[in-house]
Amino acid sequence: MSSRTIEILLVEDNPGDVRLTLEAFKEGRVLNNFTVMSDGVEALAYLRRQGQYANAVQPDLILLDLNLPKKDGREVLAEIKVDERLMKIPVVVLTTSAAEEDIARAYSRHANCYITKPVDLNQFLNVVHSIESFWLTLVKLPPQ
């Protein structure tokens, strides 16, 4: 159990989904601070602390959707995982697609894990809790 606030970057373009995710995490136990980016370009700029994001905080965990406008989540993943500074940040691909190729490709781009968003709300809440207990409680995140 960590006392510090965990910084989570959520890259998701659907506001409904964003809200859902946030609501789910609210019911959790770990203190977390969410930053939401709604497209790939912005997300990368944020991570690289470019432009208006010069003072961005490096997140401890990235929740990444695959279907994003401008720059695709798959590309973002690829870029993150080749960036020296960013590659250590765990990326959880959280997407609706259950397509095998997407899963395969994500892992080959070194995604840390791949989760399919269930349709059912309860299931979704369970997923989020699982993410919480695993990634935010159990797992030792890389030091800042």
Name which of 15, 46, 29 is nearest 136 in CA terms: 29
Question: What minimum distance in Å lies between the beta carbon of 20 and other proteins?
Answer: 6
24 touches 52 (CB < 8 A) = no
Say whether residue 143 binds other proteins (CB under 8 A).
Answer: no
Nearer to other proteins, 102 or 132 (CB): 102
Binding status of residue 104 toward other proteins by CB under 8 A: no
Site for other proteins in 56-95 (CB under 8 A): 67
Give CB contacts under 8 A, 24+ apart, made by 41-45.
41/70, 41/71, 42/70, 43/9, 43/11, 43/68, 43/71, 43/76, 44/71, 44/76, 44/79, 44/80
CA distance 112 to 121: 24
Closer of 119 and 138 to other proteins (Cβ): 119
Task: Choose between 33 and 123: whose C-beta lies nearer to other proteins.
Answer: 123
Which DSSP state fits 27? T
Pick the piece of the chain touching other proteins (CB under 8 A) from 14-22, 34-42, 45-53, 126-134: 14-22
DSSP 3-state helix, strand, coil percentages of the chain (rounded to 5)?
40, 15, 40
Provide, rounded to whole angstroms, the least separation between the CB of residue 23 and other proteins.
Answer: 7
Q: Which two tokens stand for residue 123?
A: 């299931």
Q: Which stretch binds other proteins (CB under 8 A): 1-9, 16-24, 34-42, 72-80?
A: 16-24
The correct pick among 16, 55, 84, 138 for binding other proteins (CB under 8 A) is 16
> Which positions lie near other proteins, rule CB under 8 A?
14, 16-17, 20, 23, 67, 96-97, 99, 117, 119-122, 124
